[in-house]
Structure 1
Amino acid sequence: MISYEEAVKIIVDNTKRLGIEKVFLDKALGRVLAEDIYADADNPPADNSGMDGFAVRYEDIKGATEEEPVVLEIIGESKAGGEPVSVKPGTAAYIYTGGLIPDGADTVVQKELTKVEDNKVFIFQELPKGANIRPQGGDYKKGDLLIKKGKRLRPAEIGILSSVNKPTVYVYQVPRVGIITTGDEIIDVGEPFERKSQIRTSNTYSLYSQVIEAGGEPVIIGFAKDEPEDIERKLSYAKSCDILLTTGGVSVGEYDLVKDFVVKVLGVEILFWKVKQKPGKPVAFGVWGAEKEKLFFGIPGNPVAAMVVFENMVKPAIRKMRGDEKLFNPVIKAKLKGGYKRKKGERLEFIRVALELTDEGFIATPFGKQGSNILTGMVYAHGFGIVDVGVTEIKDGEEIKVSVFDTSFMEGEKI
């Protein structure tokens, strides 16, 4: 049995980044950029107005006040997308936000500081030369590096790609993640119970959702019975996947067959089995494929253990495969409310905690029942409190590290 830290290092070291593909801009959100993006032109392409108002010569408005306004002749207008006019001494031009600065003008006076009568404009305040003008290249200049390779694309980056005329973009491929749920006792959603020993699957669909959140493409391969023939058949369907997840069947019971059969059917090289962590001790990890580029995770069948192992071990692998630079959930420090005790400190433990942000910082409250089969605890949890090896008690108000997988507790905060 190895430590959690050793297990994670083995996983990351053996995870290879996938290849690249070109996608249209409307499909690029959330993908990881596989090329540097440079500006194809200055932005803005020319000096333009940041206000509705009047384009003027600074020399003409010097000394203007409400008591002694400057009066200028209106000789035209400049609007966004239109052609500019020329401003001469003693004249001004209507200008709208985004309109090109007319030749001869060097300042824009916002509409609120003016009054129009007939073809005259009264200027009631002197402004600094260059006021309200957005200069050419003020955002970026031609040739500037705007987005570096490896950036996960958000709406802001999509906007930049559009502005530099990139209808298609190179991104890293997304891993296909196959999910096989094992066990004679498991039935699918919609199926009726035929005996009391049966349970309805939760792992299949919670893992499916976790894969999507992590940026992977989930594939439900199916449910495998505790029979060699059925397990072999289901495993054969996994050959098109980049990552295979199985739940159940990797412990030490007579019917825990998965670990042996992935070796037989897929040629998986098991790199570790069993980790000093709670929950999730009976987890197996291996590599397979022509160049050992594919991954296998044998995840415990208990639903909380399955979700914990995914967040801490599978998610980093998915993120690395798809090109992400940040592999792990953020870790914060919080004060533990109510304290936490355990009998033994032999394993690193991840306890489910609800988080809140107060004026005194983050507060973490453990969910009462921490059993690896108590899925309801995950409903209220925002993160996993990390109880280090050797620690048997954390007192009320003491600090604890929390790996955050859900930031919804931050929503609604005032800016």
Structure 2
Amino acid sequence: MRTSLTVEEALELVLAEARGELGVEVLPLKEAWGRVLAEDLAALVDHPDQDDTAIDGYACRQEDTLGASRESPVRLKVIGESPAGKPFGGRVGPKEAVAVYTGAPVPEGADAVIRVEDTRREGDEVLLFAPASPKDIRPKGDDLRRGEVYLKRGDLLSPGRLGLAAAMGHPRVKVFRRPRVGILTTGDEVVEPGEPLPYGGVYNSNAYSLLGLVWEAGGEPVLLGKVEDEPEKVLARLEGAGRLDLLLTSGGVSMGEYDVVRKVLEERGEVLFWKVKQQPGGPLLLARLGELPVLGLPGNPVSSMVTFFLYGRPFLFRLLQRTEPPYRALKARALTPFRGAPGKKVFRRGVLSFEGELVVRTTGNQSSGVLRSMAQGNALVVIPPDRDVQEGQEVEAIPLTFVL
């Protein structure tokens, strides 16, 4: 078992365990939002499928409109109209125009469009107060060309990508199965919300924080409840977890007499590493129980969320073959000081905002037991080992993407 790893070393080992093959399912588009594509998608059609107009106005021949102005308008005969879905079937000849509406095909013979704001209709004629222009004509295939790939295997189907899949003509898509992630909370002191809170007890917040994090990272959370700090009960719950792609335990991985998760995994599984040189979340553990990867998260609420974000989220992204990185670091100016720690990389909770530039300020109390810092904050401020950050200095901030 390796111990006292750097953050980078620990992440490398975690990602190496994300080697399972996820199944594939076919979903209608209406059910595919938030899923990850399991195949490249090529356009089945051109879009637009003909030259069309980007504005409301009149289609005509540009040469007939040269020199048109407010002082010297050009008069054209209107021979029809072309609304979207009902194209004009004739041909535009000299000194003629067709009323067109956004998205409508440009009639044959026309090579320019004049916006309606620069015209005045007079019966079956239209006065043009400016020259017509071809720049408001969208050429065939301007957006999509049949046969070209616009969405890649591993792309998350965001609203924009879901709409793009529809525009390409796909009624259904192949997506990866959501990884099943078990969430097991340990601790004699833990009770479920709604139950009477005994003296010294705490409500099971970790299970629900992790549930949200797993969903947000593309997984399917499986709540396994809470188990007491007894090795036999912990082992029975771990072995009875069912088919999972990842198991998260919360608590029981530190150095105390009742931190039994680590002891059970050492005896019945294989512990790959324990303890990372970071704050919060130092007692993180990675193990295997048979073929099942297990991430042993610390019990403190902030530590549990931060370690999942830094390690569990990348694990799920790797399983899902996501094209995007699990998180990105930005440069921001610190509006408040942030304290570091000797020999450890530190992740403080901050509020990131744009105030003429990216700035970040502390959420206040940075104790790993203060869960409200994860509710109020929207970023992790990264502080290298053995240094503090002073007000006005540039820092690295990782946006917490689950915060809107």
Instruction: Tell whether the 8 Å contact from 1:50 to 1:98 is kept in structure 2 after alignment.
Output: yes
**Structure 1 runs not aligned, ≥5 long:** none
Q: Identity percentage over the alignment?
A: 37
* Aligned-partner Cα distance in 1 for 2:253–2:189: 15
- 1:369 and 2:365 equivalent? yes
Tell me if 1:259 matches 2:262: yes
Aligned amino acid, residue 258 of structure 1: V
Which string of whole-angstrom CA distances, capped at 9 and with x for unpartnered residues, describes residues 43-93 of structure 1? Answer: 111122222222222333233333443333322222211142222223322
Q: Which residue in 1 is equivalent to 2:115? A: 110
Q: Are 2:337 and 1:339 equivalent residues in the alignment?
A: yes
Aligned residue pair count? 399
Q: Does 1:15 align with 2:18?
A: yes
Post-superposition Cα deviations, 1:148-179, rounded to whole Å, max 9, x if no partner, equal: 22222222211121112211111222211111
After superposition, the CA RMSD in angstroms is 2.4
What is residue 296 of structure 1 aligned with on the other side? Answer: 294
Report deviation, 1:341: 4.4
Identify the range of structure 1 (21-30 vs 255-264) with the bigger mean alpha-carbon deviation: 255-264
Distance 1:213 1:138 in 2: 34
100-109 or 205-214: bigger deviation: 100-109
Question: How big is each residue's C-alpha offset from its partner over 1:380-403, in whole Å with a ceiling of 9 and x where there is no partner?
Answer: 322222232233x33333333222
In the alignment, the residues of structure 2 paired with residue 51 and residue 351 of structure 1 have an alpha-carbon distance, to the nearest angstrom, of 50
Letter in 2 for 1:399: E
Instruction: Name the amino acid aligned to 1:353.
Output: G
In the alignment, which residue of structure 1 is the partner of 2:400? 405
Cα deviation for residue 338 of structure 1 reads: 4.1
Question: Does the aligned pair in 1 maintain the 2:73–2:129 contact within 8 Å?
Answer: yes
Matches within 5 A, 1:262-277: 262=265, 268-277=269-278
Residue 379 of structure 1 is matched in structure 2 by: 375
- Residue identity in the other structure for 1:297: L
Which residue is equivalent to 1:29?
Answer: 33
Report deviation, 1:279.
1.9
1:390 to 366, 383, 386: 386
Q: How many angstroms apart in 2 are the aligned matches of 1:357 and 1:75?
A: 53
* 2:226 matched residue in structure 1: 223
What's the CA shift for 1:131? 4.6
Residue 299 of structure 1 deviates from its aligned partner by: 1.0
Match of 2:319 among 309, 321, 336: 321
Where 2:14 maps in the other structure, the secondary structure is helix
- Letter paired with 2:10: A
In 2 relative to 1, CA 137–248 (structure 1 residues): closer, same or farther, beyond 3 Å? same
**Separation (CA, whole Å) in 2 of partners of 1:384 and 1:66:** 59
Cα distance 1:235–1:135, how it changes in 2: closer, same or farther (>3 A)?
same
* 1:353 match: 350
Structure 1 counterpart of 2:238: 235
| Partner residue, 2:138 | 134
Native 8 Å contact 1:172 1:323 kept in 2: no
User: What is the rounded CA distance, in whole Å, between the counterparts of 2:336 and 2:52 in structure 1?
Assistant: 60
Secondary structure in structure 2 of the residue aligned to 1:255: coil
TM-superposition CA deviations, 1:290-332 (whole Å, max 9, x none): xx4x421111111111112111111111221122233432212
Q: Deviations over 1:163-219 (max 9, x none)?
A: 1221111122221111111111111011112x3122211111111111122221111
* 2:286 aligned counterpart, secondary structure: strand
CA deviation string 1:221-261 (max 9, x = no partner) = 11101223432332233221111111111223332222343
Alpha-carbon distance, 1:262 to partner: 4.3
Query: In 2 relative to 1, CA 134–403 (structure 1 residues): closer, same or farther, beyond 3 Å?
Result: closer
Judged with a 3 Å threshold, the aligned counterparts in structure 2 of structure 1 residues 143 and 201 are, in CA distance, closer, same or farther, namely same
Residues of 2 paired with 1:74 and 1:398: CA distance? 65
Structure 1 pair 220/86, CA: closer, same or farther in 2 (3 Å)?
same
Q: Which moved more, 1:154-163 or 1:108-117?
A: 108-117
In structure 1, distance between residues paired with 2:78 and 2:360: 65
Alignment equivalent of 1:56, drawn from 60, 63, 75:
60
| Distance 1:93-1:371 versus aligned 2 partners, 3 A rule | closer
For structure 2, the residue ranges without an aligned partner over 5 or more in a row are: none
Amino acid corresponding to residue 360 of structure 2 in structure 1: A
